Structure 1
Amino acid sequence: MSVKSDFILPLLSGAAAGTTVDLTLHPIDTLKTRLQSSAGFWKSGGFRGVYSGILPAAAGSAPSAATFFCTYEVTKKFLINRTPGYMTPVVFMVAASVGEVTTALVRVPFEMVKQRAQANLHLTPYKILRQILQTQGFRGLYQGYFNHISREIPFSLLQFPLWEGFKQLWSYHQGSAVDPWQGAICGAAAGGIAAAATTPFDVAKTRVMLAMKNSAELKFNMWQLLVQIFRQEGFRGLFAGIVPRVTAISMGGFVFFGAYDKSKKLLSPYLVN
């Protein structure tokens, strides 16, 4: 195993991809968060201050994406050489799941501060961080961790096999490996499909992250919260923010996977032995 090609290459490429997509699409993500807030879109800020929460988002982008792709690529390479060909989609699923669980340890604290800043225009990220630590301690930064991975794992179980599958299909039909721009299109399609299917999990995650201490949302597990949202708001509540979510993730998939493949292509001559 080459440390440079198997670890450092996905580390740097993932960091570049994560930072690029989060900074580019932050305003759409803000609108999605406000649509999903139990306080309502307009009370959460409406169209004002769509760059609220940009600092924690930017701070968490590079380490989160770098952690994910390092874990994903290492796990994928380890498993794919030890499983039969027909199990390849399962390998992608397992690698993505391991990557998400690991990455959440890095991402969730930043996500907590970011989403509260997006839904509370009068609070700065620093004040939000201090408020969480004062009222809930360090553990409060991981409020919503299990809801986060409960959303991310189903999402990745769909997105990454679709992305890898679309690329393999395109590569087969053209008779050569896909270019970064083609991988970007595959990423956009895979992300949009996965985003639409997992929107209810994203709504539940957002509600928990926005909830204050002793709020009703914190008394439910993921499935109980989904049932509660459905009883009170119906399918409209479960799929709140689906348009900006699918839009953002489709665009994000294009930028994210395109930037990742392009970064790998540019860095490979320097890092591959």
Structure 2
Amino acid sequence: MAQQQQISLPAKLINGGVAGIVGVTCVFPIDLAKTRLQNQRSGQQIYKNMMDCLIKTVRSDGYFGMYRGAAVNLTLVTPEKAIKLAANDFFRHQLSKDGKLTVFKEMLAGCCAGMCQVTVTTPMEMLKIQMQDAGRITAQQRVMPSVVTTLKMGGTSAVLCRSYNTNPAPQVMRLSATQITRELLKTKGFLGLYKGLGATLMRDIPFSVIYFPLFAHLHQLGKPSPEESVPFYWSFMSGCLAGCVAAVAVSPCDVVKTRLQSLKKGANEETYNGIVDCVRKILKKEGPGAFLKGASCRALVIAPLFGIAQVIYFVGVGEILLGYTPHSIYSS
């Protein structure tokens, strides 16, 4: 019973919120590159890789262009990460028997956490993706052919030259998350904010099922003895490794989710009618390799993000602020 009193849900919510804000601030530029790389279609390669994307973004939009969409992410990541991490802790605690969990129950706790978080994750990523991808659309417009000169002879015509728009790239439309939200509510209603919900569930539930049990076991390996605490660096490394594995494992689902949630398409880009249609069209036109677009970027985003999150949990910022004794469910 004493252990149960040490588990404070409000403290865990604070821990998750703080972890989310710190983590997003550190890795958001890589997340922006991931979104733009995932939305690229075959034959329309604006960016070669993550570094090329970031360099071109800085050149066209300045340093803060890498943080396009960060405001909405920072605003909503607090409840999103708080729900995800606190829900997992809560379900692990409820499912544990004498402080022990079977692997199945660990996976079940992760599954429940993933289901809870999508209430915030879906609208957050819906808005974030529109803002992150605006620069890619603008860059694509710059390299589209603008004038085609043809020579007509009899009933046939031949292309003599094709000129390209060499003017400075059009300015990215500075739409705010509030404007996008209003437009979605006006045109599609409240459910418009939850476009791609199925794909988000398809990504986040398996992620949590993989991540949380893997982290728990990696974290336990760093415990010097039953009486001693796991070192800070081990918590960070465990979070990074577990996050990296889970992120790469569900990367195909993340590609599908990103495509479905991108409202504004570039020239000649496909539209999709649901998950199955999206998967079928990507396979047909871009091949299986397209499902791993941005996988390395996603791993680079998720690994430090969850490494930081677990260190925040280890420190127990929420417990300190509320006057409780810091306690992690993983230490039992």
Which TM bucket (shorter chain)?
0.7 to 0.9
Further displaced range: 172-181 or 150-159: 172-181
Alpha-carbon offset, residue 5 of structure 1: 2.6
CA distance in 2 between partners of 1:265 and 1:134 (Å) = 38
Q: Is the 8 A contact 1:6 1:74 kept in 2?
A: no
- Mapping of residues 182-261 of structure 1, within 5 Å: 182-211=234-263, 217-221=271-275, 223-261=276-314
Distance 1:171 1:3 in 2: 23
Task: Determine which structure has the larger strand proportion and give its number.
Answer: 2
Structure-1 separation of matches of 2:92 and 2:69? 33
Partner of 2:219: 167
Q: Report which stretch shifted further, 123-132 or 36-45.
A: 36-45
Q: How does 1:90-239 map to 2 (within 5 A)?
A: 90-120=104-134, 121-122=172-173, 123-171=175-223, 176-211=228-263, 217-221=271-275, 223-239=276-292
Change (3 A) 1:234 1:251: same
Q: Rg bigger for which structure?
A: 2
- Which of 20, 25, 30 is 1:18 aligned to? 20
**For each residue in 1:136-183, what CA deviation from the matched residue of structure 2 results, as whole angstroms up to 9, or x when unmatched?**
111100001111111011111111111101011221679733123211
- Of 86, 96, 99, which aligns to 1:70? 86
Corresponding letter in the other structure for 2:274: F
Query: Separation in 2 of the partners of 1:145 and 1:201?
Result: 12
C-alpha distance in 2, partners of 1:140/1:76?
33
Deviation string 1:57-77 (CA, Å, 9 cap, x unpaired) is 011111111112222111111
Counterpart check, 1:89 vs 2:97 = no
Q: Secondary structure at the match of 2:287?
A: helix
Any stretches of 5+ residues in structure 1 without a counterpart? none
Given that residues 34 and 41 in structure 1 are in contact (C-alpha distance below 8 angstroms), is that contact kept between their aligned partners in structure 2?
no
CA distance in 2, matches of 1:159, 1:125: 30
Partners of 2:93 and 2:187 lie apart in 1 by 43
Question: Structure 2: how far apart are the matches of 1:33 and 1:41?
Answer: 14
Check conservation: 2:20, 2:305, Cα contact below 8 A.
no
**Alpha-carbon spacing, 1:106–1:41, altered in 2? closer, same or farther (3 Å):** farther
Range moving further from structure 2, 177-186 or 227-236:
227-236
Return the alpha-carbon distance in structure 2 between the equivalents of residues 202 and 139 of structure 1: 20
Q: Which amino acid aligns with 1:247?
A: L
Structure with a larger share of its residues in helix: 1
* 133 and 3 in structure 1: CA distance in 2 versus 1, 3 angstrom threshold: farther
2:40·2:46 contact (CA, 8 Å) conserved in 1?
Answer: no
The amino acid across from 2:177 in the alignment is P
Is the contact between residue 15 and residue 318 of structure 2 (CA under 8 Å) also seen in structure 1? no
* Alpha-carbon distance in structure 2 between the residues aligned to 1:125 and 1:269: 33
Match of residue 42, structure 1, among 37, 46, 70: 46
SS in 2 for 1:251: helix
What residue identity is the alignment partner of 2:235? G
Supply the distance in 2 between the matched residues of 1:173 and 1:263 (Cα, whole angstroms): 21
**Hey, what does 2:71 align to over in structure 1?**
55
Contact 1:117–1:128, Cα closer than 8 Å, also in 2: no
**TM score, norm. by length of structure 2:** 0.73
Count of matched residue positions in the alignment of Structure 1 and Structure 2: 269
